[in-house]
Amino acid sequence: MRRFFTLGFGTSDTSTIRMALSSSIQNPSAFRLPLRRHHHLPHSNSFGGAASFSRFKPLRCVSSLAVAPSSRILVQNPIVEMDGDEMTRVIWKMIKDKLIYPYLELDVKYFDLGLLNRDATDDHVTVESAEATLKYNVAIKCATITPDEARVKEFNLKSMWRSPNGTIRNILNGTVFREPILCKNIPRIVPGWKKPICIGRHAFGDQYRATDAVIHGPGKLKMIFVPDDGEQLELNVYDFKGPGVALAMYNVDESIRGFAESSMAMAYQKQWPLYLSTKNTILKKYDGRFKDIFQEVYEEKWKEKFEESSIWYEHRLIDDMVAYAMKSEGGYVWACKNYDGDVQSDMLAQGFGSLGLMTSVLLSSDGKTLEAEAAHGTVTRHYRLHQRGQETSTNSIASIFAWTRGLEHRAKLDSNEKLMEFVKNLESACIETVESGKMTKDLALLIHGPKVSREFYLNTEEFIDAVAQKLVEKNPALCS
């Protein structure tokens, strides 16, 4: 397949690119774009070691158009691709080469969010990828490393960069929705869950933007708000008799309203009821604000649409909602505050079987902009094996579904029926492959137990090849 690239900004040698482009027209295999590829060890990067970084300007964005025969499906508008780290980066390339590019004529705005490139660009590449997502409305993201102190030392980073997901969420101002991928032969810890549960996590504020402090001795804790105009508000919080801790957190009406809009848009799209959970009996003003704004948005914009579709919106206390979730059969959207969503989404994943069978999308408040990714991390342990040349059995399903959910949104925005059909075929190819008994080790363990033998699972590439074969069977016209 031939690909034509146009460089964005932050490139090092445009004459080299032009020469490569020229030769690729005659000989596609000769084309080698000098992309800054991620390697786990900073002293083994593609440019010959960490000390050589200064010789190159970091690559932030590449725009590529995969030019294909007429049998391939034309995707009219671009998507933003955000590359990632470690084992997920390895399988990401396999997915593109085996499941995406052979079928789609696709314009990709590529951003390398690998940790080394974020460091080289002072994390500007993350901001720029989010801004591109706002422009093109669809992004598909590979899992990325959020560095801690150990990673800073390991990669010799300039700084302990913030979570890329957090940065992107703040710019897109959306809600993170996670939903299980159901396979009939994968046992569920909660057997009563017959239908998916889509959990929406408010991705702004609360504990994640809080200010906390250790109190070292007796004294008075006060909270003071100084308005731009008007009288100062001073609240007495606690009279400490000894050491302790304190926390101040916040949220804003604009973000809560966007959360409500996103949640109702998702419920309406799925034609499922929507539940919001809070603890407004205790946090009467804080959580009460969430409850009030959700009700306002529902009454103003969504009530009539919901009733016409025989679905509903309801507020529930978080403890009541958790109990309901455990005994329900599923089939609804559950809107959670930031911390609740963080906790309950992992509970949901394990209850349905595995984090490897969980989709994750970030949807903007207007429902127009979507970023899709896998719900799990970079699978570091498998990457260590991969580096040593050992066999891995890494579950790629969530990463494949990141592509399908992003492309599904592109298909909806563009009214592209052929692309929508391809997306459905790729998702069903994944599920049918697992249901036929072909799966990676993590899923085989759920079925066969901790002593599962090698005959019951495929390695990383074998599984993607099995999905590719199933996809060929579903798209014979595109493969002729």
Which residues contribute to the annotated binding site?
144-146, 151, 163-169, 178, 201, 319, 327, 342, 377-382, 395
How many Cβ atoms sit within 10 Å of the Cβ of residue 153?
Answer: 10
Mind giving me the DSSP string for 294-360? HHHHIIIIIHHHHHHTT--EEEEEHHHHHHHHHHS---EEEEE-HHHHHHHHHHHHHHHT-GGGEEE
- Pairing, β 211-215 against β 244-248: antiparallel
Binding residues for D-threo-isocitrate: 146, 163-169, 178, 201
**Under 8 Å between Cβ of 205 and 255:** yes
Binding residues for Mn(2+): 319, 342
Helices and strands of the chain, counted as H and E runs:
17, 18
Q: Which of 237, 232, 233, 204 is nearest to 219 (CA)?
A: 237
Binding residues for NADP(+): 144-146, 151, 327, 377-382, 395
**Under 8 Å between Cβ of 316 and 295:** no
Spatial separation of the C-alpha atoms in residues 331 and 150, rounded to whole Å? 41
Length of the chain: 480
**Under 8 Å between Cβ of 290 and 278:** yes
Burial bucket for residue 304 (CB in 10 Å: 0-12, 13-18, 19+):
exposed
Is residue 67 within a helix (H) or strand (E), and if so which, with residue range?
A: strand 61-67
The SS3 call for residue 255 is: helix
Burial bucket for residue 171 (CB in 10 Å: 0-12, 13-18, 19+):
middle
